[in-house]
A and B are shown apart, each in its own frame.
Chain A
Amino acid sequence: GEQVEQLPSILRVQEGSSASINCSYEDSASNYFPWYKQEPGENPKLIIDIRSNMERKQIQELIVLLDKKAKRFSLHITDTQPGDSAMYFCAASENNAGAKLTFGGGTRLTVRP
């Protein structure tokens, strides 16, 4: 089955700077790559996603990049704020797998004021 590796596991940045999280996957058939944010004590929530027909997607301060050849995708948070502090999970899904998502191990992001 699909395997997703996520790095770094811990990320600390200064408020106003950028934060980048990188993920790699193994199954070249994967075609959907969502990112979830989980705040302490809360359930994960989708923040942005990208499908394999795109290489870049931006929603406000969130940018996702997808390199299908290298089987890598990444999340970039520009102008980080303390409210961005949370766990972030990447995931990959292959359509023929019946909407099954394989999650990365997570990145704990801390934004220092």
Chain B
Amino acid sequence: GGIITQTPKFLIGQEGQKLTLKCQQNFNHDTMYWYRQDSGKGLRLIYYSITENDLQKGDLSEGYDASREKKSSFSLTVTSAQKNEMAVFLCASSIWQYEQYFGPGTRLTVL
């Protein structure tokens, strides 16, 4: 079996700060995703990547950048953190239109 690792687990930032979240997977999956989950709510797609060096915008891409450095890693940047922002960012990977495997999440708090 494989595993998805997200770092950091907790991220505390200041308003206006640029923050980077990292995700690694060893499933050898082609497709990777970044989702945002607000407390008690659904998952909203920020960016996804079909293969290395590919980048596709999701429904919530404004205010974020992403980078697929290599097949196993996908990073997400919050370009300017918003005050009082709190959410969990979930990374996932899959083989095309099959099961998505999720990481444990990065919990963001902006002071």
Contacts and interface: CB of A to CB of B under 8 A. Distances in A.
Which applies to chain B's interface (DSSP): helix, strand, loop or mixed?
loop
A46 B35 CA distance: 16
B2 interface: no
Contacts of B50: 98-99
Contact of A102 (B41, B45, B56): B45
Given A32-B97, A43-B90, A99 B31 contact: yes
Size range of the chain A interface in the assembly: 20 to 34
Given A1-B59, A44-B102, A99-B50, A89 B42 contact: yes
Contacts, number: 53
24 contacts: A1-B59, A32-B97, A34-B99, A43-B105, A44-B43, A45-B102, A46-B99, A89-B42, A98-B50, A99-B31, A99-B96, A100-B45, A100-B56, A101-B33, A102-B45, A102-B59, A103-B35, A103-B43, A103-B44, A105-B42, A106-B40, A106-B41, A106-B42, A108-B40
Interface of A: 1, 6, 32, 34, 43-46, 49, 87, 89, 93, 95, 98-106, 108
